[in-house]
């Protein structure tokens, strides 16, 4: 569940890289919210998911790699 993952990432202080490629993710709103406050995560790999171009633009402002 991406929403649960987003909630966990909001308070993450140890995870620096996360690979979520090819997981059929389409709604990334929870991840986007988490990235606004998470300063520890340096790379989030989301390639191969069904993410809209608009959401990709929003996420690229953070640490997301497609």
Report how far Cα 50 is from the mean position of its chain's Cα atoms. Answer: 13
Q: What angle do CA 31, 10, 45 make, to 5 degrees?
A: 40
Identify the pLDDT of residue 63: 74
Identify the pLDDT of residue 1: 79
Each of the 66 residues of the chain gets a pLDDT tens digit; together they read 799 999 999 999 999 999 999 999 999 999 999 999 999 999 999 999 999 999 988 888 887 787
Identify the pLDDT of residue 48: 95
Identify the pLDDT of residue 62: 81
Report how far Cα 12 is from the mean position of its chain's Cα atoms. Answer: 13
In this prediction the pTM is 0.83
Given a contact cutoff of 8 angstroms between Cβ atoms, the answer to whether 58 and 32 are in contact is yes
């Amino acid at each position: 569940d991406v929403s649960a993952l987003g909630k966990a990432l909001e308070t993450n202080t140890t995870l620096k890289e996360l690979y979520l490629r090819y997981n059929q993710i389409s709604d990334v709103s929870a991840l986007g919210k988490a990235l606004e406050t998470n300063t520890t995560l340096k790379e989030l790999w989301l390639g191969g998911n069904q993410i809209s171009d608009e959401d990709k633009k929003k996420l690229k402002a953070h640490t997301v790699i497609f």
